[in-house]
Structure 1
Amino acid sequence: MDTLLDDGVLSDKEKSNLDRFVSFYSDQFKKLKAKHGWDVVSEIDNIQDGEQYQRFIKGAILSDIINGRPLEKRFTINESPIIFPKGESPLWLFNNVGYFTYKTKTEYRGSSDGISIRIAKGLYYRTGSFKGNPIRTEVLEKKKDGSLILTTKNIYFYCGGSLEKTPLSKIILAQTFADGILIQKDGMREKPKIFKHVDSWFISNVISNHENIP
């Protein structure tokens, strides 16, 4: 699996070989269970939930996208909080995702509260106060934890009843990190969004090739 996915994408031949491999061994486990009563069904579940098997599914999805083929139904969400419009399908769900964005912080430097100057007995003159020069800085701030749903058309972030949608077609920058991704949506007032604890390799490849999705 590591060797086949070394370049990040499965060729048609590699995909076909892996499909047969997984199918063959899944059938063998089931036959052993039926014949000997061994508790091997859990082993099949472990394979399908494992990181390597998930990489295989993601590689197969990317292979279909890059080649402009109709996407096979490889991933489903059992209890999705989103009703997807016709023609839009989920590609992957990431849970326990940290959502960060930049917040503009303004502080004033060189400010003064003013002073009182005595002119005569009982008579004072007070100079005016001023805030000084505004200094604005961008500070990275964690907004919340939630679920990120990547579909054929959008990136959704869902948390506690609130939902944010970012169309793939509007993303002008996707910068990957070891365990996260920064995306920048087109628009003068749009600020970068950072999502941690996701597969940045998979998401960035879907974004880069989204125009090939039927």
Structure 2
Amino acid sequence: MRCSVCGFENEGRYCNNCGALLTGGTEAVPATGSWLERCPVCRTRPLEETVSRRFLGLTSRQVYACPGCGATFTPEGGEAFRLSKAADQSNPIWKTYGNQTLTGGEWRRIAHGGVSDARQRALDIEYALGEIQKGSVPELRVEANAVLLKRGERAVAVIPGVTLKEPRSVRKTYGGGGGPSIRIAKGVYFRTGGFASRSESHEEIREIDSGTLTLTNRRMVFTGAKRTVNVPLGKIVGMEPYRDAIAINRDGKQRTEYYTGIDTTRLTLGVAGRTHVVPLSGVVFMCMVQGLLNREE
């Protein structure tokens, strides 16, 4: 059976990779009760309060341990507890949450086949990006359109404050004279050797312009004070995502174009009633472009 959370093939009731309850299970998280009633690691025995001796037995600390699997949870203040020990470190729960500090509510959810808040967020975002790539592209319009739309064209994202950068060749020349120098007057020297120079060239990413980046269902348009770039989506041959930028390679242009500062815009993703606000990173932008291309096919 394939796990609906991580996609791993399994046999049994729980996923051997992430520990989630496999599809078809009927278990639900109890509405009331303590998370100590079921060990999140083995999911069979309740946890027992015990005392852990430290530093040659001179100090001690209260912990919660499972008498069945040996898992130990250490209080970290408030309602937070750290999974600090597990006898079987091949257990999927230990591999996923070992030495992590979570709330009691999260541990209770894990004990009944769920996942932590952070892992749920990561899985939701991964799922949402997959749906965007398939063609379910959300509209993200933060201001009025910066371009005139053609018939049948609609704006998907309008992103202000974007900087266009491109690689530029920079040449530097180094020179100097050789041989001994002879003093012919105060502060005046004559060098007997000849002058030699060498030149080196390299590329640097230089800022070209700043403006607004608009993504439509047909093209990508950058409108700046000095330059306007109009790129049909079908002309894009490659994309490289960054945390705050997207690099575009397009047909008919040798230089890569870097559009930076796109992460100042936020996108809201919704999955199964849960919402997550994420920055518009290069990965998200790339998925949106791929989704628009797939939808037009």
Residue 212 of structure 1 aligns with an amino acid whose one-letter code is N
The Cα shift of 1:94 comes to 1.2
| 1:15-34 superposed matches below 5 A | none
**Pair 1:64–1:205, CA change in 2 (3 A):** closer
Identity %: 15
Tell me the residue number matched to 2:291: 209
Deviations 1:179-204 (A, max 9, x none): 111111123x4211111121212211
The CA RMSD measured in Å over matched residues stands at 3.4
Q: Could you say which residue in structure 1 is the equivalent of 2:216? A: 151
Shift of 1:154: 1.4
Q: Secondary structure at the match of 1:85?
A: coil
Is this contact kept in 2: 1:103–1:138, CA < 8 A? yes
- Structure showing the higher helix proportion among its residues: 1
8 Å CA contact 1:169–1:210 kept in 2: the answer is no
Extract unaligned runs of 5+ from structure 1: 10-58, 113-130
1:134 Cα offset (Å): 5.7
Offset of residue 4 of structure 1: 6.1
Q: Is the 8 A contact 1:104 1:138 kept in 2?
A: yes
Contact 1:150 1:203 (8 Å CA) reproduced: no
Task: Give the corresponding residue for 1:28.
Answer: none
Per-residue deviation at 1:76?
A: 4.8
Q: Which residue of 1 aligns with 2:154?
A: 89
Cα shift at 1:147:
1.1
Give the direction of change, closer, same or farther, for the CA distance of 1:106–1:213 in structure 2 (3 Å limit): same
User: Is the Cα contact below 8 Å between 2:133 and 2:287 reproduced in 1?
Assistant: no
| 88 and 65 in structure 1: CA distance in 2 versus 1, 3 angstrom threshold | farther
Cα distance, 1:63 vs structure 2: 3.6
Residues 76 and 141 of structure 1, relative CA distance in 2, 3 Å threshold: closer
C-alpha distance in 2 between matches for 1:8 and 1:196: 25
Within 5 Å, give how 1:24-63 maps onto structure 2: 63=131
Q: Does the CA contact (< 8 Å) of 2:213 and 2:220 recur in 1?
A: yes
CA spacing shift, 1:78–1:206, aligned 2, 3 Å? closer
Question: How far 1:175 sits from its partner (Å)?
Answer: 0.9
Mapped partners of 2:285, 2:134: distance in 1: 13
From 205, 218, 223, give the equivalent of 1:140: 205
* SS at structure 1 position matched to 2:121: coil
Q: Name the CA distance, whole Å, in 2 between partners of 1:109 and 1:3.
A: 52
Alignment partners' CA distance in 2, 1:135 and 1:168: 37
The CA deviation string for residues 71-95 of structure 1, in whole angstroms up to 9 with x for no partner, is 78x4556532311111221111111
Give the 3-state SS of the residue equivalent to 2:124 in structure 1. coil
Q: Residues 153-172 of structure 1 correspond to what in structure 2 (within 5 A)?
A: 153-160=218-225, 162-172=227-237
Find the structure with the greater CA-based Rg. Answer: 2
Cα contact 2:132–2:288 (8 A) shared by 1: no
Q: Is the 8 A contact 2:145 2:158 kept in 1?
A: no
Q: How high is the TM-score relative to the length of structure 1?
A: 0.54
Q: 1:88 to 1:149 in 2, by over 3 A?
A: same
Is 1:195 the equivalent of 2:263?
no
Cα distance in 1 for residues equivalent to 2:171 and 2:226: 31
